[in-house]
Each structure stands twice: as C-alpha cells, then as structure tokens.
Chain A
C-alpha cells in the first residue's frame, strides 16, 4: 500500500503482468470480397448476435527527433464516439523473428488521454508526420481483435468529401495485447488466420523489406 506508484509500475513490469506486447498479423482484402470476409468473421467471432461493430477512427502520427532513431507516437480518437477519451500510443519496432515465430511482436503502450494531447505533444516538440482515417469493422474472438478497415487519406486543403482512398482493399489486422512471453496466444492467432484462408492471407509483414522494397 505504502509503496510509491513508480515502484508499483516497475514491479508490475518486472513480473511481466503488463500487457505491453502486441502480437500482430496483417493482410488485406479487395473491396469486392469484403462481404465474404465479414460474413465469415461473423460466423467465427464472439460478437455474433450484436453484429459487426463499426468504427471510425482518426489517427495522427507524431514524431520527435531523437537520436539515433526518431521516436513516433500515435494519437487516435473515435470519430463516431466523440465522448470517448483519446488514445496516445507508443508502438515499438516490430520484431519479425525467425520462420518459426507465428506472428510479429512489437511493444505497444496505450494510454487514455484528453483532446489536449495534440497541443501537449506539439509543445513537447513533436510534429505531425502523417494522419489518416480508419473506417471499418471490428470483431472479437477471445483475446483476439480483428479489424477490417479502409484507410482513408485526409486532405486538409479540401472538404471531407474529397478524402482519398489509398487502395482498393481493406486492411485486415489480427492482434492481441499480452504480457511479455505469452507466446501461446501467437499459435492461436496463427490457427485463426488459417481459417480465413484463402480469402485473406494474414501473415507477418516484414517491415524492413517493406521500407526498402519497391513502393
């Protein structure tokens, strides 16, 4: 009881109970086939009776120059639930691992915050690197979260109608937040992803290759 907060957090981190690891698989589905995927997900996932949950999020990525690599922070808010708190998120470098590892792992720290977080970050010296809207559907299956979302480029010079879709596909992500070392969940994710084939190939995306590969 008497121990200070910082010590409590340190202890929590040391005993690996903080869910700060994100296990992630990514894929995409063409617009024409998204109905099939939603149908299948409705059958597979937990929130069957309520139907797929829609969401519309605005995400801004802020970066601050630090050495040796710049640090980036993400601010996310729900456009369809303006009463909800905003979310500040740190995402670490994704670890691709070897072929045996079923998913990408990256550290992820989320924190709820108010709308003034943008101002706060700006004051800190962060600047916005890019922003986008994610519009789509969310499903749950146990601890797994599945999102099927359209990524929309926001154009600050024009009205909302002229937002550009950047691709003919929906981004599909399967993720779980878990404490360090819970690799069993990754196997579950792999087998769940198997059930969505060949509609969607949820897989580890090699970020390093992505950065250097063709655009």
Chain B
C-alpha cells in the first residue's frame, strides 16, 4: 500500500512540474502578446508554439507512462466546503482561488463537461447515430474526395517548391571565370577579335592578324601613309549593315590614292 502511495506522489510531482512548465510558457506567451505585440515577429511567435507543443507531448508521455498509476481510478473527495477566505489556498493557487466554497468547488473538481456542452455533444451523437449507412458512406466519400484534392494541391506545391529550391541550391552555374577572362581580354587586347590570317595572302590583312604593334615595322622603313593603306582593306570590307562605317571608309579612299 505504502509503495503505491509513494509511486502516486512521484507521479503527481512529475505531472505538476510539467504542468507548471506549460503554464509558465503560456503566461510568457501572453505577456509577449500584450507587451511586445508591436515588435513580435512570426518566427518567435511560432517558436513559442513549438515550445508549448513540446511540453504538451512531454506531459502526455508522463501520463501514459507505465509507472504512472491510473489516475482515472482515483477520486478526489471534497471533505469540507467553507465560505471563509483561505490565505493558504490563495497562496498556492497564485491568488486565483480565495475560498473553497460550494460556488467554486464543482468547477475545479469537474470531471465531466458542462451540462449544456454535454447536451450538444449528445445531440451530435444522436444525429450521427441516426444516419443511414448509405448516407454516411456518401459523406465519407465526399469528404475523402475533398481531402484528396487538397492533398494533391499541397503535394504539387511541395514538389514545385522542392524542385525550385533544389535547382537553386544545386550547383547551377550563372557565371564562368573563363568567360570573364575571355571577354575581358577580348575587349582590352582584342584577343580572338583580330582578323584570322588568310592562307597564302601575305597582305595587309595578314598584318592585321599577326598583330600586335611593336613587333617591328612590316617591311623596313614604312612611311606614315603605308599603315593607312593597310588599314583600308579591312575598313572597306566592314559588314554591309554598318552604313556609316562604309561612308567613312569611302571617304578614306580619295585621300589615300
């Protein structure tokens, strides 16, 4: 007998601490809502909910634990009601319950639902009980249909989201250092932009292709006019779409000849 009582005490202690934790976080949440509702953001708000949900799970675990005696088999028996203010009661209930009177005791010791709630539950149960099998089946299938539809929508959205985030986190390349170097050296030094060297035609164009100035004059002492004439070739052949350029090129001709 004593052993059982000890176990009950232990279990009750555990339950009380859990319930107190839960109460603490609920009151924290209320305080937050009241005091910081302007600065409160969703992540912290949801964090609070997660905390509570964790605590509820812990409480359920304690209640369903093997060592926990079946509480439903135990009865609380109010021995005495009193209209007097009870300071001790006030202290342990955090100023909530001033006296253990006939007015308050039923509410605190209630194990059943309130009568009107109970009545409505009864009504619903009767309604459910009266339903024919076919009707119930119909409703179930309709419900299932709606649920499946919602499920489809949700899973489709999830798939899209996952593929999107997958492609985003994946090694999708948007920039290439090789291309950067290629482009920059093209714009700055003309790499891969210079004319290709025509085969067997060592003319002005060949000079263009080979290139870099400073590699020495192409044929001994070249006058100032010669580079100009070398220029003429490519300039005259600028793509037909660029009309102004052709004009510019045709302007060169009379000067050089």
Contacts and interface: CB of A to CB of B under 8 A. Distances in A.
Interface of A: 26-30, 32-33, 36-37, 58-59, 61, 63-65, 69-70, 77, 79, 82, 94, 115-116, 118-119, 122-132, 134, 151, 153-160, 163, 166-169, 171, 198-201, 205, 207, 210-211, 213, 215
Nearest to B179: A169
A134 B193 CA distance: 12
Given A30-B174, A157-B237, A201-B175, A122 B187 contact: no
A213 B185 CA distance: 11
B228 A199 contact: no
A129 B179 contact: no
B251 A33 contact: no
Contact of A122 (B191, B212, B252): B252
Contacts of B176: 28, 30, 168-169
A123 B228 contact: yes
B193 A130 contact: yes
B252 A151 contact: no
A169 B183 contact: yes
A201 to B, nearest CB: 6
**How many B residues touch the partner, as a band?**
35 or more
Contacts of B245: 58
B110 interface: no
B237 A33 contact: no
B239 A154 contact: yes
B16 interface: no
Contacts of A210: 181, 184-185, 188-189
Contacts, number: 161
Contact of A70 (B182, B186, B213): B213
Contacts of A156: 195, 234-239
Contacts of A130: 190, 193-195
A129 B213 contact: yes
B2 interface: no
Interface string B208-239: 10011110010000001001101100111111
A17 B205 CA distance: 43
9 contacts: A65-B214, A79-B242, A119-B255, A123-B255, A130-B193, A154-B238, A169-B182, A199-B174, A201-B177
B83 interface: no
Nearest 10 pairs of A and B residues by beta carbon: A130-B190, A160-B241, A156-B237, A169-B179, A33-B174, A28-B180, A171-B183, A160-B239, A70-B213, A130-B193
Nearest to B227: A127
B244 interface: yes
A184 to B, nearest CB: 25
A171 B240 CA distance: 26
B192 interface: yes
Contacts of A29: 174-175
Contacts of A199: 174-175
